[in-house]
Amino acid sequence: MIQTFDVVDRYSQRSSHPFAEQWEKRNYKLGRPLRVLQVGKFYSPVYGGMETHLKALCDGISATVQVEAAVSNRSRKTVCETIDGIRVRRSGTLMNLAGAAVSPGLIRAIRESRADVIHLHLPNPTAILAWIASRNPASVLVTYHSDIVRQKYLGMAFSPILDYALRRSAAILVSSAEYVRTSPVLSRFQKRCLVIPFGIDLEPFDNPDLAAVSRIRRMYGERIVLAVGRLVYYKGLEYMIRAMKDIDAHLLVVGVGPLQPELEREVAAAGVGNRVTFLGRVDDVVAYYHACDVFALPSVERSESFGLVQLEAMACSKPVVNTDLPSGVPWVSIHGETGLTVKPRSAEVLAGAINSLLSNPARRLVLGRAARRRVEDEFTKGLMLRRTLEAYVLALCGRAPSESAGGIQAETVDDSAVFALAHAAREA
């Protein structure tokens, strides 16, 4: 059974004191604030879905717990710095192996940590190996962002080590139940999985620079399609570019990545150079969300496990055209409710969906408003933070997985146990 925190939400509503607000009084008898070490690939200002989530999580829980981050650096130099109040240690990278940073200093960073909970963000072979080598005895919790999809041989070779880490974790946090069901890895650990959708802070999206929005509309026209993300293989941007041959609009692409030269050749081959613009990194992406008419996420691989940028567009009341991947992507923005979902790898179908929205302003408005409501109801940063804090409670108070002759027996927490934890915190 896949666990969710819906039951916690119901119980928490019985009290006027939200669960997280009681943390400082309780701290589960630690006598001090809880210490959490976040271990990820990289950290802001490095751009990516995992990095965006990691920074939002660190910033959000820092008011409640003591949090630090240990990540790899893009250079060989190890750097310790404080970013928005969060102590970040970037361990030097000696080399990259199959896309994974090799950062031996991460072992020391984890070993020397006095954390009560170590929160690993996967996929990240370096983080798992460093955690194992560190022998740090703290409780371990995992956020499973995605399977290893492209590096299949690396995934197969690393599978026993990944399984060991998942067996040792008190809980595996996943952004959608659909990803659990479709993952060849997580399907073996369903009892250990807790579905905690990613969330965003709505405030930055509520106050756009209207002058910047107007300027974008003047520069690129009255029909704008926006795509945001790293220029990497699973984003499917080549299909978006090919679709532009049949779309009377301007495509703006925000983001950088190794495939930009290849994508620029696609633009030239399609003859749409006057209607496709690569913007690179931008200082104010919110203005572009508000300026666009349709947001496109044409991803082609389940490496796109959630599509956090969908939430940002939806927060700006924009309809989303996404793809029907076996991941959380079509669950975030629902076909016919908050946008349109099409089959992946089809420029023709993608163009048809986008054109249907561009030609129907009333439908765009209805879908966009529903998109905003869905973010408010399901994907706020506050909900994500509270559910994550509750997961830390489970990591500290739950029983560890037990070994038996029959193999691994995963322990789960039922509704009554979750209620008992929430009630104890309120009564503290």
Q: Say whether 359 sits in a helix, a strand or coil.
A: coil
Torsion of CA 314, 174, 139, 387, to 10 degrees: 40
User: Rounded mean pLDDT of 53-64?
Assistant: 93
Sheet holding 139-144, edge to edge: 3-4, 193-195, 172-174, 139-144, 117-122, 35-39, 66-72, 86-91, 79-83
Q: What is the mean pLDDT of residues 134-151?
A: 90
Q: Which distant-in-sequence residues (6+ apart) come within 8 Å of 160 by Cβ?
A: none
Q: What is the pLDDT of residue 154?
A: 65
Question: Do residues 195 and 5 lie in contact, with contact meaning Cβ atoms separated by under 8 Å?
Answer: yes
pLDDT digits (tens, 9 = 90+) for 304-322: 999 999 999 999 999 999 9
User: At which residue do the structure tokens 């006598």 appear?
Assistant: 31
pLDDT at res. 16:
32
Q: What is the pLDDT of residue 33?
A: 85
Angle CA(214)–CA(219)–CA(221) in degrees, nearest 5? 85
- Domains of the chain, earliest start first: 3-199+380-427 (3.40.50.2000), 203-378 (3.40.50.2000)
Q: What would the pLDDT profile of 177-214 be if each residue is shown by its tens digit? A: 999 999 999 989 998 899 999 999 999 999 999 999 99
Mean pLDDT for the stretch of residues 72-84: 95
- Provide the pLDDT for residue 151: 65
Best CA proximity match to 119, nearest among 95, 98, 138, 93? 138
The sign of the CA dihedral 152, 125, 192, 199 is negative
Look at residue 388 in the predicted model and tell me its pLDDT: 93
| For residue 28, pLDDT beyond 70 | no
